[in-house]
Structure formats: C-alpha cells, structure tokens
Amino acid sequence: MSAGETILQGRSIHPGSAEGEALVSRMGISFFGGVDPETGTVMEKGHDLEGRRISGKVLVFPTGKGSTVGSYTLYRMKKAGTAPAAILNAECEPITAVGCILAGIPCIDRLPLDRICSGDFLRIDGTAGRVERGNPGTDTA
C-alpha cells in the first residue's frame, strides 16, 4: 500500500491522533498484572509480546482481559510516560475503553487486525476511527 492510503476504518472508542510503529499481538492483554506500568514492558508469561516494551507504540491486539484495575494501570502508564501511543482492537471491552478515556489514549476497534504487521508505521485518527499507513515525517494530506 502506498504511504498515506487509508487501510482501515473502524469505530472510534476515544478521539485523538497519534502516530508510531505498530506492535501487534494475536493475544488478549491484561494491563493489570500483565504489563509493568513503570517500564511499559509486557511481563505475562507465555504472552507473544513477553519482554517487549509497548511504550510509544501503536498497540494492536484483539481485546483486553483481566481486572478492572487495568483501566487505572493504563492511566498510571500515561502519567509515567510508558503508555502506548494508541490502541487498536478487534473488539474493545470496557476495561481498555475506560483506560483509554481516563488516559487520553486514542482507541479504535472493529478492525481487521490481520491487515497490520508489527513494524508498520501508522497514523491514527481516533476521532474518525481511521488508520493510515505512512512513513515517519511525511505528510499524507
């Protein structure tokens, strides 16, 4: 796909814009207990992102899981500077949605995640629910 081409249209969960490198998981993520909020590192044993940092990434995963404390963990991560730049889901459940709203993290769901690969540079328009592939430092307008 060419730079700036709209690759996905989904449902806006929380508005805002972000851009960055995609980090894709095929597994659900629990922010409480599964991610170290001080470092932004996935620490859940056996998770396909175990040991990877999600800080500043466009984090792509099917859906959240775990405790409702996960919402506050996302907020804590935002305050600590370790939160993802944006979150993309196939289906955003309430824990992730509330966390994104509290933390001001753009979030979109109802997306076919198999169209995104780790390492893709993405521009997120959380207000319109749009995801564009691009290159860092280029204007796609």
Which domains does the chain possess? 21-120 (3.50.30.10)
pLDDT at 4: 56
**Global pTM?**
0.92
Neighbours of 81 (CB within 10 A): 9
Tens of pLDDT, residue by residue over 17-71, are 999 999 999 999 999 999 999 999 999 999 999 999 999 999 999 999 999 999 9
pLDDT tier at 6, thresholds 50, 70, 90: low
Cα distances (angstroms) measured from residue 79 to each of 5, 72, 92: 32, 11, 22
Catalytic residues: 67
